[in-house]
Amino acid sequence: MEMKGKTVVITGGANGIGAVTARLFGKKGAQVAILDYNEIAGEELASEMHAQGIEAAFFKTDVAKRNQVKETAEKVLAHFGKVDVLINNAGITRDAMLLKMDAEIFQQVIDVNLTGVFNCTQAFLPAMIAAGKGKVINTSSIAGTGGNVGQTNYAASKAGVIGMTRTWAKEYGRKGINVNAVAPGFIETDMISTMPEKVIMQIKQVTPFSRLGKPEDIANAYLFLASDASDFINGTVLEVDGGMLK
């Protein structure tokens, strides 16, 4: 699955799954736009990729801020001239049981994980439609398909992402745009680094492969959905969780 000549936008591209994805797409020949609000990590990654001869550029952006996203889309298009793939990967967690969840942290997670995906897709989709082809890949979660204790806000945002994915697949398929989602299981990144060891053990016990996922497992799923190999796949949610028992 080559990405030669394709321009790929990866939100939350400075760390975790996004950074591994940026490196993988770069190795496959893509020009990579890394969007993130973490400037230090984002600039570092772009220079690391540059040093390897990959065309990568970092654009400081908070996906929850509509104006910033709009400005960034203009900058990305001015820099690379086009966008072939948008990976809406940026996401956060702010966990608490329902009765202890402040309205503020509920909203914060919705703003990034749900509204952020809306903002970025609205900003980048017109260029894909003009080109007559494009791939949008949204990041959901198994918390979005099955719910998860302590994650009212996160599960709501990730279920919402699935709703938007299926809607956009129906709205823009006829314009040559594929819109799909990936629903990761538990993946070894900073996001789950504060989870108690006991819970990690329990997750491994209910995963047939007896391990957590690696960022590469998700990056490979993104690559498939970004490539021509998935041209007839639209509106689907690809669960990448090692077959975890639910």
68 binds ligand NAI (CB under 6 A): no
What's the closest the beta carbon of residue 65 comes to ligand NAI, in angstroms?
8
- The Cα-based distances of 163 to 9, 110, 201 in angstroms read 22, 14, 32
Question: What one-letter code names the amino acid at 160?
Answer: G
Adjacent-strand bridge partners of 34: 10, 58
- When binding is defined by CB under 6 A, the residue of 103, 104, 132, 190 that contacts ligand NAI is 190
CB 120 within 8 A of CB 111: no
Contacts of ligand NAI in 137-166 (CB under 6 A): 139, 141
56-59-65 Cα angle (round to 5): 150
Nearest-angstrom CA–CA distance, 63 and 241: 26
What's the closest the beta carbon of residue 192 comes to ligand NAI, in angstroms?
5
Concatenated DSSP letters of 2-69: --TT-EEEEETTTSHHHHHHHHHHHHTT-EEEEEES-HHHHHHHHHHHHHTT--EEEEE--TT-HHHH
Contacts of ligand NAI in 93-112 (CB under 6 A): 112
Q: Among 37, 154, 172, 222, which one carries the catalytic annotation?
A: 154
Cβ nearer to ligand NAI, comparing 37 with 172: 37
Stretch of 72-80, 86-94, 170-178, 231-239 contacting ligand NAI, by CB under 6 A: 86-94
Contacts of ligand NAI in 21-40 (CB under 6 A): 36-38
Task: Please say if 154 is a catalytic residue.
Answer: yes
- Contact residues for ligand NAI (CB under 6 A)? 11-12, 14-18, 36-38, 61-64, 89-92, 112, 116, 139, 141, 184, 186-187, 189-192
Q: Catalytic amino acids? A: 154
